[in-house]
Amino acid sequence: MKTWKRLLLIPCLIGVLGAAYWKFAIPTHRIDIRSELVMLGDLDHDRRWTAADLAELDVMLAHPFDVPAGIAWRADMNQNGMIDQEDIRILRTLVAAAGDPYLAEKTAKAEHQSFPRPRELYRYVLVEEYRPRPLWALPYPLAADSVLDWLPNLSPPVTTSSYSDALAAAVYSEAVRFDQAWRRRQPQLLPVEREYAAKKLARARQLFQSGAHYELLLALMELVEDAETLTAQGQPDVSLKLLAFRDHLRELLGSPLYAEFKAGKQDWRAVLKRVSGDLQADLGLAYNFETLGPPRSFTHLGNYLQRAEWQYYKSTAKEDDFRLLITYAQHDPRYLRAVSRTSKQFQDPNVENHNLPMVLLLREALRIKHGNKKQAVGLLDEAIRIPYAWVKSIPREALPGALALDNFLLPGNKEDGADKSRHWNVFGGICLYKSPQEALDLALKREMQDLRDDHYSEPAMREFFRDMIANLNGMYHVMTLNPDLLARPNKSAQTQE
C-alpha cells in the first residue's frame, strides 16, 4: 500500500513543481497585464478603414458628444488630445487608399501633406486604461445663434501647448458641448428650470467678459451636467423644493442676521427660527429645533434592516469597479479641473467646491454600475475612503506643504476633505433607501445634535449650515441624475470602451 502511495505522490509532486515553475518562472505569468490592439480611426470596430468609418465620423461630426468617449478617442488620429481637421484628413486619406496605410502615406507625401507612419496608427493599450474624450477643436457652425451669445467670439483651438491655450481649448469644447445639449433640452424645460438656467447663463456670460476662463470652464461644466443629466419632469415635487431650501440656507449664512449672531448680538434661537420659517415656506414642514429629537431610534428594527441593505450594496463593489472609478478620478480632464477648485480654510462658506466633482463621480459610478443607483452610491461610499487611506499611509513630512491629509484626489477644500463628500453621498443614498422627506428629517436631526453638543457656538452653527448644504446637494442630485437623459435611440447599441 505504501508503494502505491509513493507512486501517486511522485506525479502529484511533479505536477505541483511544474505548476509553480509555470506560474513563477515564466515571465508572462508573473505579470497581469491585459492589452488590446487598437486601430485609430476604426470607428466601427471591423479592423479595417472603410467608408463605414467615414459614416460613423459623419455621425460624430453632427453630434460630437453623443458618441462614447472611447470612440471619440479612436477618432483622434494624431493623438493630440483634440478632434481637429487633421484627424479628418488622415482618416479620409486612409479610406481613399482602400485601407492601405502604406499607400495612404505615399499619397499624402506626394501631396506634401504630413501623415503618420503606418505603425503609429496602431496602439497597444491596457484594457483598463482610461481613454479621455478628446477636446472638440472643429469650427462650430451653430455658434451664430447659440444661447451662449459670446460663443461666436471663441475660435477653434489649434494647440494646447501652454496652460492658457489648454484652458481656452477646454472652454471652447465645453461651450460647444453645452450648446448641443441645450438645443435638445430647451423646448421641454419647465419654468423653474428656465429660471435656474438663466441665472447660470448670466454668470457664464459675466465670467467670459471678465476673462475668468478657469471659473468659466467650471460654470460651463455645471451647465453641461444640468442639461445632460437633470430634469424636473417626472420627479417628485420635493426635489426642487430641496434646492429652494438650500438656496435660503446660503442666503441666511451671508445675511445681516447671521452677522449679528457671529458678533454675539443675536441668540442662536433667532437664527434657527429663520431656518424653521424657510422649512415651512419651502417644504411645508414644521420644525421646532429647541425640542428636536435624536437622529435615530436604536430600538427601531427598520434602521438595522436598511443599514444591512446599504452594506450589501457597498459589498457589491468589485475590485475592477474601484480600479475603473479611481482611474477616472486620476485621469479624466474634466474631473481633474473640477476637483482642483479648492480654497483655504473658511473660504468656501457655501460649499461650492464639492458639488460638481461629486456629480461627475456619481455619473461615472452609474456608468460602471450600469445605471443601478444603489450600487453606484455604495461604490462611491467605499471609494471616497481609498485615497484617504493612501494619504494616511504617507508620512506627514513627505506630503507637500500645501496639501491637507484629506485633500488628495477628493472633492472639496482643505478644511473639509472627505467630510462633505460623504455628507453629499450618504444623505443622497438615504433618499433611495427611505425617502427624501426621511433623509431631510434625519439630516436635520443629525446636524442639530452636533450643534447642540458644541453648545451652539458660531463655528458649530456655520458647520450646521454647510453640512446641510452638502446634504441637500447630494439628495437632489442622487434622486434626479439620469446619465441617459439625452440618449438617442441609435445610441443604445453603442457602449463605452
What pLDDT, in 10s, does the model give residues 116-167? 999 999 998 888 788 999 999 999 999 999 999 999 999 999 999 999 999 9
Please say if the pLDDT value at position 394 is more than 70.
no
Residues 6 or more apart whose Cβ sits within 8 Å of residue 388: 405, 406, 408, 410, 417, 418
Please say if the pLDDT value at position 26 is more than 80.
no
Which of 351, 358, 354 has the alpha carbon at shortest distance from 254? 351
CA 399 distance to own-chain centroid = 26
Mean pLDDT of 307-313: 80
pLDDT at 371: 93
Q: Are strands 35-39 and 122-126 parallel, antiparallel or unpaired?
A: antiparallel
Residues 86 and 115: their CA atoms lie apart, in Å, by 9
Residues 136 and 64: their CA atoms lie apart, in Å, by 8
Please say if the pLDDT value at position 496 is more than 50.
no
Spell out the SS3 assignment of 448-480: HHHHHHCCCCHHHHHHHHHHHHHHHHHHHHHHH
What pLDDT, in 10s, does the model give residues 179-220? 999 999 999 999 989 999 999 999 999 999 999 999 999 999
pLDDT bracket for residue 31 (50, 70, 90) = low
The whole-model pTM stands at 0.87
pLDDT at 29: 52
Residues 73 and 319: their CA atoms lie apart, in Å, by 25
Residues 436 and 235: their CA atoms lie apart, in Å, by 11
pLDDT bracket for residue 6 (50, 70, 90) = low
Residues 6 or more apart whose Cβ sits within 8 Å of residue 276: 286, 287, 288, 289
Residues 386 and 253: their CA atoms lie apart, in Å, by 32
pLDDT at 28: 58
pLDDT at 405: 46
pLDDT at 33: 61
What pLDDT, in 10s, does the model give residues 462-474? 999 999 999 999 9
Average pLDDT, the chain: 87
Instruction: Provide DSSP, 309-350.
Output: HHHHHHHT--HHHHHHHHHHHHH-HHHHHHHT----TT--TT
Element (H, E) at 145: none
pLDDT at 448: 95
CA atoms within 13 A on the CB side of 20: 6
Please say if the pLDDT value at position 243 is more than 50.
yes
- What the block records as the C-alpha cell of 3 is 508503494
Q: How far apart are the first and last CA of the chain?
A: 59
What is the residue whose three cell numbers read 502511495? 5
Mean pLDDT of 419-423: 87
Distances (CA, A) of 278 to 190, 272, 487: 23, 10, 37
pLDDT at 403: 45
Please say if the pLDDT value at position 482 is more than 90.
yes
Residues 372 and 192: their CA atoms lie apart, in Å, by 28
What pLDDT, in 10s, does the model give residues 87-119? 999 999 999 999 999 999 999 999 999 999 999
Please say if the pLDDT value at position 19 is more than 90.
no
User: Is the sign of the CA dihedral 318, 322, 72, 110 positive or negative?
Assistant: negative
pLDDT > 70 in the chain, percent: 86
CA 113 distance to own-chain centroid = 39
> What is the CA angle 346-351-357, rounded to 5?
125
Please say if the pLDDT value at position 311 is more than 50.
yes
Residues 463 and 450: their CA atoms lie apart, in Å, by 9
Q: Where does residue 120 rank: exposed (0-12), middle (13-18), buried (19+ CB within 10 A)?
A: middle
Q: How do the residues of the chain divide into helix, strand and coil, expressed in percent and rounded to 5?
A: 65, 5, 35
Please say if the pLDDT value at position 493 is more than 70.
no
Residues 316 and 41: their CA atoms lie apart, in Å, by 36
- What the block records as the C-alpha cell of 342 is 479648492
**What are 135's strand-pairing partners?**
82
pLDDT bracket for residue 310 (50, 70, 90) = confident
- What the block records as the C-alpha cell of 322 is 474601484
Please say if the pLDDT value at position 461 is more than 50.
yes
pLDDT bracket for residue 409 (50, 70, 90) = low
Please say if the pLDDT value at position 5 is more than 70.
no
What pLDDT, in 10s, does the model give residues 267-284? 999 999 999 999 999 999
